[in-house]
Structure formats: structure tokens, C-alpha cells
Amino acid sequence: MVKIFREMFTPETHQDLFKVFEWELNWKRSNVSESGDGQKFWYADGGEHPFISEAIRDAVNPVLAGALGVEKIAFERFYCNGQSFGEDGSPHSDYQEDGMYSLIYFPMLEWKKEWGGEFLIYDENEDILLAWWPRPNSAILFNSNLKHVGKSPVKSCLGIRYSLAIAINTNV
């Protein structure tokens, strides 16, 4: 299952979330998609920031429960990623258990297609199921067991490709 949200939040919430990413998170260049692959990129624990762990959780809860056709969901994790040129992730899956989903949200205020930074989801044969450019304020909801990867921006892009990843559990 893959579902696209072209506009996840109101313009005001989108702008507030971008400000959190730009100015308020404790970024560390320590995250990797797969242990031992050496591909580091920027990471911050979104669960430590009240706007993300409370306001965003409350805003997405009814939308995601409705999209997943369940009455109740639990949020396992909120994590923030940042990538600049050369900081590709590696294809990986987040969780193998049934009932686990991932939401990837793109908080940038501006992003041009020629800047790269595509988000790819693979099928069980490792063929590309979805290629999505990180359109501002968009999000993708998918089964956490699907392999996926965030690609870095191209060299001519001077910005950072941000994403907010939310782990969702429907086994509640």
C-alpha cells in the first residue's frame, strides 16, 4: 500500500514545521539507513521537539487512521533527516511486522525538480514502485516493510533536502 498526500498540512503548519527544521532541531551528522554502509546524513530526534511530537501528531492522527482504515494508531517514532549533496541514503525497510507503516513528509518551502532528492520505493522484486520528488508539504504513506531510499540533492542545489519520517503502528 502506497498513498500520496499532495498537501499534508495547512500552509501555516507547513511553514511552522519548516522553521522547526531550519532553526530549532539538534542536528547531528550521524544517521545511516543501513548499519555499516558508511552513508551518513543529518539526523534529529523529532520526538524531542514538542511541536513535532504533539502538534504534528495530533494533526496527522485522524488523517492517517482514516487512510489506513483503522480507528486507532500509535506513533512509534518521529525522526528528522537532512541531506545535502553526496549524502544518499541506502535502500532499507523500516519494520518487517504487519501493521507497521511509514509516513515520509517533506517540509521544505521550496524545491525544484532539477535539484534531485527523489524518494524511491521498491517492490518485492526490488524494481522501482514509486519515484517521488520531494514536493513541499507533500507526504507518502506506505507499508514499512517496503524497501525505500531518500536520494541526495544534486551538486547545484545549495539547500538541504529535509524529511520527517513517522513510524506508525496499527496493531493497537
Query: DSSP assignment of 11-56, as one string?
Result: HHHHHHHHHIIIIIS--EEEE-SSTTS---EEEEEGGGSHIIIIII
pLDDT confidence of residue 38: 61
pLDDT confidence of residue 133: 93
Cell numbers found for residue 138: 507533500
pLDDT confidence of residue 86: 87
Q: What is the mean pLDDT of residues 90-101?
A: 92
**Residues 55-85: pLDDT tens digits?**
888 899 999 999 999 999 999 999 898 898 9
Is the pLDDT at 50 greater than 80? The verdict is yes
Is the pLDDT at 92 greater than 70? The verdict is yes
Domain map of the chain by residue range? 2-169
Global confidence as pTM: 0.90
Span 2-169 CATH architecture: Sandwich (2.60)
Contacts of 51 (CB under 8 A, 6+ apart): 16, 17, 20, 24
